Amino acid sequence: MSLSIGVYEQIVNNLIRVKLDSIDTCQFFVGTKSISKIDAINLLCKYLQHLLEIAFANINEEEDSDKCSRFVNDIIINLGRDFNIEDSQENLIDAGRSILTAVVDKTRCDYPDIEQYIKDITPETTLSRSALFFGGKGPTDMQSELNREILCSDEICWVISFIKVSGLNLLWKSLQRFTSEGKKLRIITTTYTGATEYEAISRLAYLPNTEIKITYDGTQDRLHAKSYIFLRNSGFHSAYIGSSNLSSYALKDGKEWNFKATQFELPHIIESVRNSFESYWNDETFEDFIPGISDERLKKALGATWDDPLLDFSALDLMRAKDYQQEILEKLDVERNVHGHFRNLVVAATGTGKTVIAAFDFMRYKEQHPDCHLLFIAHRQEILKQAMKTFSIVLGDPNFGDLWDGENEPQSYQHVFASKDTLRNRLDSLNLSADYYQYVIVDEVHHIVAPTYVKLMTYFKPEILLGLTATPERTNSEEDITVFFDGHISAEIRLPAALNAGLLAPFHYYGIPDNIELTEVKWSGHGYDPSELTKIYTSNDYRTGLILKKMQEYIGNNNLHKVKALCFCVNKDHARYMNAKFTLSGLRSDMLTSDDSDTHRNVVQKRLRLGQINYLFVVDLFNEGVDIPEIDTILFLRPTESCTVFLQQFGRGLRKHKNKDHLTVLDFVGHSRTEFNYKDRFEALIGRHSRNIIEEIKGGFTNAPFGCKITLEKKAQEEILANIEGFIRSMRKDKIIQEVATFRKANPIGFSLSSFLNYTHIPLHKIYNVMTWGEFCSAAGVQSELSPNVAAIKFAVSKKWMATDSFSYFSKLISFVDSGFKVEVSSFSDTEMRYATMFYYDLFDTAGAFDSIQDMFDSLAQDNLFISEVKEVLYILRERCSSPEKTDNSIYSGWNPLKLHGVYTKAQIQSALGLSTFYKKSSAREGVERIWGINLEAMFVDVIKKREEGSTTDYKDFAMGKKRFHWETQSTVSSTSPTAENYRNRTNHQLLFVRQQSTHPETKATMGYVYLGEVELVSMEGSRPIQIVWELKSPMSESAYAFASQYKAIG
């Protein structure tokens, strides 16, 4: 066999085919696939280029290049003929056989020898060829080439981790000349590690036509990119991507590697780099540096260290809420203004800025209620002091608030930061009415179930009650803190968002099989029976030996006596057993349980912090009492059934610390029962992506948060996959029917879909993906009759309403249902008729199911089973709405039923805009639909496209900021086409609808579009396709920005 064993991406030509035919397929596997469209674009073009290079390289010196040019012209003529390229004649090589090198305005050029001047400023590596720079001495060095690139550019965009004067000096004269000619220089940099020099930034900032953006949070490792982008009106762009920051060593003397990509050779790379730069530029994380205004802020940020008292949120950084914090604030708005919930529970991991969120939330409230009173309650003085400082900075008032504890008495009771003990002891003697404080915050609110807090919560009657905690779930299942907060959590900071923001230490998670059989262990309530688990674990020295062996493997022998590990056990007996075994193995360890006094806890925690012990075994102290930033290792020595508790325990090690690069997590996986849910925890660890969790596991968790790694040993992966697949099977038809029958028998009174979902925790979509609720009740013997419209109910819920998130739309449908569908369509306004058409296509996929809309309503009014089921479903769905809807901002707002930021199906949008009518449903499948009569154009965008396997196409539609969106036309649209002219002349009004992707990665259901409102043209560039930047009239919602800004340059 003449072909080497390995992987290929090789076009099978005749020679390869002969070699393949000679392979013994009994011994060797040969993998091939058909040439797809994307392969034709990528591989066939490169294949032909390779053959042309070989052929042209053999031209004799005596031969003219005419032969090559004629051959290329023949190819162009054939392309025009075979692929119907109208302007192919324009691409024929001119008879002069020359290369254009420059077009210069002689009246504006100061150089007597223009030809020599062009040679001097043209990069030695040329404008068309890509190149690699290795640093050190060579034919041309990085700094020399950058100087030439600067002088022949029209716009420069740099992303550099740090900038030093030594590096700036090497390019200074070229930059001065470049900017003095009216050309734009934009630079993004950071204050990370304090490596950037203030003098360098200041000098750059005073250059004309120069803008600089900086992330001032130097404690967060968020940007290591080094990219020098040079844009030219000629289209011959280039970019240098690699390891060189702007320093003398990096550009001249160091052994740095940098790759130069050119638009001519690698246009997809250049486009990816440019788009990524624009995304950063429009990201609020990077803020303008304004000379004379920002100087002191920059100096302070460059001098920040890990020892600053406001490590995670410096005073400078507190002035603006971060994106993920703004998303929480947005959710609180929806809770209050849409759902009417004013008792709000916010859950966020320690270190993610819960107090900052509270401060910004109160600031908004205070703007509407200038004379309001604030009460902030906590159980420790240091929390109160830190909170008061945070509020002072956010509100811009250094005198804001008064401390009230055992040592301090408030001068005024208007804004008080109070110790819960002091407040409780003085409550009876206070002359404060129950409603004196309109806004009350309880920090570490998981304590609220304690009698000392209950007394306070019973007394005060605020307009807004805000609870903050990292740990909402307690070990005692009866202690449900959500009873104080309208029965649910209002908002949570997702772990992946906090990790991607650099707020927490990245983790390395290892799933390790322990070969313990747990399928026969009793399952009581929502978990394994602790006594049976303990019996198994404490009588199994083999498992303990495996744990020690895997610690050596993943932590390393040298580090076993250096780590600071938190080890989670089943109960006290298990903790005692593990502590003894570790001690016998020569490891320094101890244990803590809820029985230990506060004094003993503090002593043991201090020993762990100081490294006097390395392993701390705990049972139920996953929340208060064990908050140790130094923890760098976590051992899960028991199966943790609750996903919430698992994440809380996980979070104990995610606090950032100067001596911790990452958190190591060892999770020992047994052969679990089907009730045990691995699916939710892994989804919680990686967040929402384009692949479902099974694909993620099989693919090696490529979508783990930045800096994080998830590794499953082979048997652990097999066990977890089997568990998840078993969990999915448990949601199938026969299982649900059995659950319905069992629940009905146990709950003859109050039996409903809502109560069933609350009891079983089966998601609504799992019900309606199979059958309607009525059909399940019928199959379970609970209901004897079925609605004649069961198909319509199932279609509406599973295909339409599960993809909809619009409080206003569901409210309108509820009004139809509440009337028993006894409506007079003839009295409907234009908007109401559009609502009715939307409702019709929710139920029926084609036009003409009835003679008229009125006929549909009259028919449904006769179906009581339909009315009762649809009514309950709509109330459930409306209560779950989370979109921050606002009034439409387009010129069509007078009749458009869609609300800004609402989420709708395409069919609903088409009906709302008149693209579909009752008598004719739109059949359009394109991404753009137009109604010429009213100059309306609806643009439907998937941020993540369906990509064929092997595609290297970038995602080219993405948010560049909350008010700008980058969008590409279809690849057939040229810059001179009528479509381009319409955009350029602003003939139509564009409405933008965006979704993350076409189908949900887990449920495979079609996803809805977020309505982002009317947009206006900012810029157009390129041809086939055209790259367009749109300006949104209103900023997109935080939730939409979260997915729309996740541009991934795949290059």
- For residues 303-315, give the mean pLDDT: 46
| C-alpha radius of gyration, the chain, whole number | 33
237: left (phi over 0), alpha (psi -120 to 50) or beta: beta
**pLDDT tens digits, one per residue of 92-115:** 998 877 889 999 988 888 888 898
C-alpha distances in angstroms, 25 versus 28, 668, 997?
5, 41, 40
**pLDDT tens digits, one per residue of 1015-1037:** 999 999 888 889 999 999 999 99
pLDDT for position 306 = 41
C-alpha distances in angstroms, 163 versus 222, 286, 631?
16, 16, 34
Closest by CA to 23, choosing from 51, 39, 36, 4, is 4
pLDDT for position 63 = 64
8-state DSSP, 1007? P
Rounded CA gap, 77 and 75, in Å?
Answer: 5
pLDDT for position 249 = 85
Residue intervals of the chain classified under CATH 3.40.50.300 are 319-493, 498-729
Number of helices followed by number of strands (H, E) in the chain: 37, 32
Give CA torsion, residues 909, 911, 913, 915, to 10 deg: 110
Q: At CA 927, angle to CA 922 and CA 929, rounded to 5?
A: 45
Confidence of residue 282 (pLDDT cuts 50, 70, 90): confident
Closest by CA to 163, choosing from 219, 113, 214, is 214
Tokens 């504006």 identify what position? 108
- For residues 512-527, give the mean pLDDT: 88
**pLDDT tens digits, one per residue of 854-909:** 999 999 999 999 999 999 999 999 999 999 999 998 989 889 999 999 999 999 99
Q: Is the pLDDT of residue 261 over 90?
A: yes
Taking each helix axis from N to C terminus, what angle separates 142-151 and 114-121, rounded to the nearest 10 degrees? 130
**pLDDT tens digits, one per residue of 523-536:** 876 789 999 999 99
Give the largest CA-CA distance in the chain: 107
Give CA torsion, residues 817, 822, 827, 831, to 10 deg: 20
> Where does 15-88 show beta strands of DSSP type E?
none
Buried-exposed string 55-75: b where 16+ CB fall within 10 A, e elsewhere: eeeeeeeeeeeeebbeeeeee
Residue 954: how many other CB atoms lie within 10 Å: 21
- For residues 466-476, give the mean pLDDT: 73
Cβ(619)–Cβ(569) below 8 Å: yes
888: left (phi over 0), alpha (psi -120 to 50) or beta: beta
* DSSP assignments along 530-573, one per residue: HHHHHHHHHT-HHHHHHHHHHHHHHT-GGGTTT--EEEE-SSHH
Rounded CA gap, 413 and 386, in Å?
Answer: 19
CATH 3.50.50.60 matches 319-493: no
C-alpha distances in angstroms, 655 versus 505, 560, 642, 831?
6, 21, 21, 52
CATH 3.40.50.300 matches 498-729: yes
pLDDT for position 444 = 86
Q: Is the CA virtual torsion 799, 800, 801, 803 positive or negative?
A: positive
CATH 3.90.870.10 matches 108-302: no
Cβ(720)–Cβ(696) below 8 Å: no
Q: Copy the structure tokens of residue 624.
A: 């208060």
Amino acid present at 360: F
Residues of the chain above pLDDT 70, percent: 93
Buried-exposed string 411-422: b where 16+ CB fall within 10 A, e elsewhere: eebbbbbbbbeb
Rounded CA gap, 355 and 213, in Å?
Answer: 27
Rounded CA gap, 759 and 750, in Å?
Answer: 12
Instruction: Name, in order, each residue with C-beta under 8 angstroms of 394's C-beta and a sequence gap of 6 or more.
Output: 318, 319, 356, 359, 360, 363
**pLDDT tens digits, one per residue of 607-635:** 999 999 999 999 866 444 456 899 999 99
Helix, strand, coil percent content, the chain, rounded in steps of 5: 40, 15, 45
Look at residue 618 and give its three-state secondary structure: strand
- For residues 647-674, give the mean pLDDT: 90
Rounded CA gap, 944 and 941, in Å?
Answer: 9
Residues of the chain above pLDDT 90, percent: 58
Rounded CA gap, 560 and 563, in Å?
Answer: 6
**pLDDT tens digits, one per residue of 151-205:** 999 999 999 999 999 999 999 999 999 999 999 999 999 987 788 999 999 999 9
Return the half-sphere exposure (C-beta side, CA atoms, 13 A cut-off) of residue 885: 21
Closest by CA to 632, choosing from 712, 556, 705, is 556
Q: Is the pLDDT of residue 951 over 70?
A: no
In terms of C-beta density within 10 A (0-12 exposed, 13-18 middle, 19 or more buried), how is residue 933 classed? exposed
In terms of C-beta density within 10 A (0-12 exposed, 13-18 middle, 19 or more buried), how is residue 875 classed? middle
Query: What is the residue-averaged pLDDT of the chain?
Result: 88
Amino acid present at 428: D
Tokens 């009014």 identify what position? 861
Confidence of residue 136 (pLDDT cuts 50, 70, 90): low
Q: At CA 22, angle to CA 18 and CA 23, rounded to 5?
A: 125
C-alpha distances in angstroms, 721 versus 516, 679, 712?
17, 9, 11
Amino acid present at 665: V
Report which listed range, 687-701, 970-984, 1026-1040, is most confident.
Answer: 1026-1040
Rounded CA gap, 942 and 929, in Å?
Answer: 15
Structure-model confidence comparison of residues 793 and 430, the more confident one: 793
Rounded CA gap, 748 and 1044, in Å?
Answer: 47
Residue intervals of the chain classified under CATH 3.30.870.10 are 108-302
- For residues 18-42, give the mean pLDDT: 87
- For residues 685-701, give the mean pLDDT: 83
Closest by CA to 33, choosing from 43, 45, 21, is 43
Look at residue 828 and give its three-state secondary structure: coil
Instruction: Name, in order, each residue with C-beta under 8 angstroms of 655's C-beta and a sequence gap of 6 or more.
Output: 350, 351, 504, 505, 627, 628, 629, 631
Cβ(921)–Cβ(909) below 8 Å: no
